[in-house]
Structure 1
């Protein structure tokens, strides 16, 4: 993973939320919210919250009085998530517009959580662990702040070949830069998919009960153009494209749209997505 893989700034947060979230994240967010709420937690910590898609799904499901702390490493993403929730991301506790749950927004590194031991009943992270430079250290931090009997819930994408649009965009952009193809999607979002490795990493963080379920869903979009724009301009893939040629972003987006349309048709498109859902306890 490169430093640019973690850079969600500029116009990326808005494009990510308006295009990427409905494309691939909302369906899994509903699953994660249902899973976390099902544990009836009194205190919840969300790490790598991104633009807040799970936050918006989970807050209405939590019991009144539940402590809900939402964090992300990237302040621009946290600011965007808080604004979408109708809150302020200045570190203060503020009431969610969806119900009486107080959400605490805090910039934080999942590998160095600024919370006391045994502070939460559930720690969860949707599609953020792939970005951890030291995953076992991140899992160990989750373990540290969990109360006895608490659960750590996280999701990661399966291999890129099982995620149609990501695979097609990667191949299309490679045509624009054949000598140095951008590999962000394959390298980072889809680079941590081996179940045996995931289980080993979580086990080394002192979790003793580890359940892993692979879930397939369908990604849908009004058009191939929206899919191409989402991936090329609403993720750090944009950083890789512009680093190679500052003027090539539109050409890369156009080519990705052409490839997707050729495989999925004109008009609304649909493609397979697949991810692993992990629930760990210690």
Structure 2
């Protein structure tokens, strides 16, 4: 992972929440919230909370007196998340590094993280921090994307952009969001951090969007892929987005589009 892969700033948070969240994150947020509620936690920590899609999904499922702390490394993402959920006083928004959590030992019943572990530079260290702040018998509940070939739009956009930048193709999507999918590696990292029972479910969902252009804008302008494109040619962002749109339209048509997405959902016991 490159340092720029962690930068969600500028116009990215708003574009991310407008396009990426409904297209690929909401179905898994609903599933994660359902699983979290089934554990009846009294205190929940969310890491890599992004623009707050999981916190919003949790709102109607957790008990009114549940303590919920949502953290993210990127203050810009947290600011946007807070603006989308200003009335829920149960949620505390706090900037925090998942590798150095600013909480006391045994503070939470449940730690959840939707599609954030791929961005951790040292995953066993991050999991050790989670284990430290979990109460005995607490759970870590998190999700990661499966390999890029199982996530059609991301794969097709990556291939399309290689046609514009053949000498140095942008590989953010394959390298980071879809770069931590091996279940044996995930189990090994959790074991290194001291977690015992580990359960992994692989869930396929359908990604839907009003048009190929919506998909292209979501990935090319609503993720750090934008920075990767602009680093190669600052004037080619729109051209790259249009090229990705054309590639998607060739495969899926010009109207409403849908394609497979797939992720692993993991529960680990402290």
1:64-87: CA deviations, max 9, x gaps?
11110010000000000000002x
* 2:67 match: 67
Deviation at 1:138, TM superposition (A): 0.5
* SS in structure 1 of the partner of residue 261 of structure 2: strand
Q: Name the structure 1 match of 2:118.
A: 130
CA distance in 2, matches of 1:140, 1:124: 14
- In the TM superposition, residue 210 of structure 1 has moved relative to its aligned partner by 0.3
How far apart in 2 are the matches of 1:267 and 1:64?
42
- 1:193 pairs with 166, 181, 184, which one? 181
How far did residue 148 of structure 1 move?
1.0
Aligned partner of 2:143 among 155, 159, 181: 155
> 2:237 and 2:194 mapped to 1: Cα distance?
44
1:3 deviation in Å?
A: 1.1
Show the counterpart of 1:222: 210
Distance in 2 (alpha carbons) for counterparts of 1:261 and 1:54: 31
Task: Provide the residue aligned with 2:40 in structure 1.
Answer: 40
Q: Unaligned stretches of 5+ in structure 2?
A: none
Corresponding residue SS for 1:61 = coil
User: Following superposition of structure 1 onto structure 2, how do residues 68-217 of structure 1 map, counting pairs within 5 Å?
Assistant: 68-86=68-86, 96=88, 102-217=90-205
Q: Distance in 1 between matches of 2:160 and 2:170?
A: 10
| Runs of 4+ displaced beyond 6 Å | none
* Superposition TM-score, scaled by structure 2 size: 0.99
Aligned to 2:251: 263
Task: State how far apart, in whole Å, the 1-side matches of 2:199 and 2:91 are.
Answer: 28
After superposition, give the CA deviation of every residue in 1:37-83 in whole Å (9 maximum; x if it has no partner).
Answer: 11000000000000000010002211011110010000000000000
State the 1:165 CA deviation: 0.2
* Residue 241 of structure 1 pairs with residue 229 of structure 2: yes
| d(CA) in 2 for partners of 1:3, 1:18 | 24
Q: TM-score, normalised by structure 1?
A: 0.95
- Any idea what SS the aligned residue of 2:181 has? coil
Measure how far apart 1:102 and its partner are.
Answer: 1.2
1:15 to 2:3 alignment: no
* Number of residues of Structure 1 aligned to a counterpart in Structure 2: 270
Structure 1: distance between partners of 2:11 and 2:93 = 21
Q: Whole-Å Cα distance in 1 between the matches of residues 207 and 220 of structure 2?
A: 16
Q: Give the superposed CA RMSD.
A: 0.7
Question: 1: CA distance between counterparts of 2:255 and 2:214?
Answer: 10
Deviation string, structure 1 residues 3-56 (Cα, Å, up to 9, x no partner):
110000000000000000001000000000000111000000000000000010
Show CA shifts across 1:85-125 (max 9, x none).
Answer: 02xxxxxxxx50xxxx5111110001100000000000000
SS of match in other structure, 1:260: helix
Q: Report the alpha carbon displacement of residue 149 of structure 1 after superposing the two structures with TM.
A: 1.2
Instruction: Give the CA deviation at 1:266.
Output: 1.5
